[in-house]
Amino acid sequence: MGEIRIVIVGIRGLSRLVSVLSVFLMILFLTTDGKCQSSYHDQTIQQILAMPSDSINLGIACLVLAKDAYPKLNIDYFNYCIDYMVRQIRYLNQRRTDPLARIGLLNTYLFRPGWWNDSITFTYNLNDLEADSTDDQFLNGYIATKHGSCITMSMLYLVLAQRLGWPIRPVRSAKHFYCRYIAKGFRQANIEPTCGGGYIPTWRYAVDAGEPKRAIRNGVYERVLTNKQYIASLLEENARYFLDKKKDLDKAIYYTRLSIKYDSTNSGAYWNLGELYRRKAIQLDSIRYDKIQELKASTGVDKLLMRHRRSEVETYMPPPRPTAVSPEPAMPKAPDPSVFGEYLNGVVPGPAPQSRITAWPSPNQNFRRQDKAIYQDDQGILFSKVQQINSNYGKRIMELLALSRRLKAKAKRLGIVLRFPREFFIKQAESIAKFRRTGEY
């Protein structure tokens, strides 16, 4: 019985040890709010998107997206930078729960110089309003340079808020992102990080961007996004990076399809995918043409065809008439006494007339019958192979063009802003300049 008791106690002790380890691992992998992963474990963005939406750590997800543009990116280092900022903000906040106090503290810490940030503030890159620079598209670039765009400025704001446990969520406008504080009874909830974190009403975003009412009703613009939907929107920036910077059309298509998979309301992703498929059709058509030209060169049909045509010309065009060279006129001989009388009559015999060449050469018959047969056989083989190439590529090209039209039609049904008003960028630049000058929104 004693031995049995020892075994039971051992099993119970092992059970307790496993329980302690499991709790420790949960603490290790979760953030301060007890929900999100706290450290990076070599996940891909696909693996992160497969997690429950509330378990996704936005900071890690955004850094994983940045690794596409920066393959040697040290994610752990930038993750530590984010945690460092969170600790400072939490210390300054002193457990305040009022929305305005929290927003004001974040705005002060990020955008107003002082001892709390060593007088180094984050600001908008006015030289890149449309975020064409790689640094303005990804989180690590914004943290390193302190210059960003509406993409990265709202991104850092959201990442810090999530780790602080504050209910600030992403909102998508037309070609723009901003934040919204979700609290009952709190009306001035919108936060515009590009203008010092000031408040802008939702209707102004819609009007300035020219958003159709249909798009707002369908949830394309001006609604709060889940973590997965937000990351899905950011995937479009990765697609743009691969298309513009890497010229990798297939990777751009893959990321745009992944974006639609996790947010079926994003009309911009549908439109972009339609355009990418159109470009893919053009690419395949170019490959089709090159293969046909390569086939012609390899079969030698072009050379045989040129020979055939040259032979036909030579057959129907006679060769130029040879020109006889006139010999030097012979010196006149001394008069023959027997014909002296003819000279006296005024008749002087001239040189003997030269004979004209009247025999023409036979027509050129270089194009023999066997050459003609070979030419006809090769022409038939070439035609068959060309038809096969056209069949293989043509069907796929037509499918891509049809799919492109359907995707763009769906984007229009959902509602989309295609021609973005320049006035929006002008107003945004003016607001940013005013904040820099006066500190007011």
pLDDT at 341: 46
- Cα–Cα dist 270/275, whole Å: 9
What value does the mean pLDDT take over residues 38-43? 86
* DSSP string across 324-360: PPPPPPPPPPPPPGGGHHHHHTT----PPPPPPP--P
More confident residue, 52 or 330: 52
- Cα–Cα dist 245/222, whole Å: 30
Q: For the CA atoms of 8, 14, 16, 19, what is the dihedral angle to 10 degrees?
A: -140
Would you say the pTM of this structure is higher than 0.85? no
For the chain, the structural domain boundaries read 27-226+422-438, 266-317+365-416
Q: Residue 31 class from Cβ within 10 Å (0-12 exposed, 13-18 middle, 19+ buried)?
A: buried
Percentage, residues of the chain above pLDDT 70: 69
pLDDT at 31: 40
Residue that the structure tokens 């927003």 belong to: 103
- Does the structure show a pLDDT above 50 at 101? yes
CB–CB of 78/143 below 8 Å? yes
Q: What is the CA radius of gyration of the chain?
A: 41
Structure tokens belonging to residue 140: 């690590």
Q: Angle at which helices 369-414 and 301-316 pack, to 10 degrees?
A: 130
Q: Dmax over Cα atoms in the chain, in whole Å?
A: 171
pLDDT tens digit sequence for 336-379: 555 444 444 444 455 555 544 444 444 444 445 555 555 565 66
| Residue type at position 379 | Q
| Residue type at position 291 | K
- Cα–Cα dist 138/337, whole Å: 120
Lowest model confidence (mean pLDDT) among 88-97, 232-241, 276-285, 385-394: 385-394
pLDDT at 122: 94
pLDDT at 134: 87
More confident residue, 371 or 77: 77
Length of the chain: 441
Average pLDDT across the chain, whole number: 81
- Cα–Cα dist 262/43, whole Å: 18
CB–CB of 407/400 below 8 Å? no
CB–CB of 36/55 below 8 Å? yes
pLDDT at 17: 47
What value does the mean pLDDT take over residues 405-418? 97
pLDDT tens digit sequence for 315-335: 445 555 555 555 555 555 555
pLDDT at 130: 77
- Cα–Cα dist 105/422, whole Å: 32
CB–CB of 20/12 below 8 Å? no
pLDDT at 386: 86
- Does the structure show a pLDDT above 90 at 397? yes
- Does the structure show a pLDDT above 50 at 385? yes
Q: Is 363 helix (H, G, I), strand (E, B) or coil?
A: coil
pLDDT band at 283 (very low <50, low <70, confident <90, very high): very high
Percentage, residues of the chain above pLDDT 90: 57
- Cα–Cα dist 421/62, whole Å: 28
Residue 355's alpha-carbon distances to 291, 320, 361, 364, in angstroms, are 60, 19, 17, 26
Structure tokens belonging to residue 46: 């696909």
- Does the structure show a pLDDT above 80 at 116? yes
- Cα–Cα dist 67/242, whole Å: 12
pLDDT at 107: 96
pLDDT band at 26 (very low <50, low <70, confident <90, very high): very low
- Does the structure show a pLDDT above 60 at 179? yes
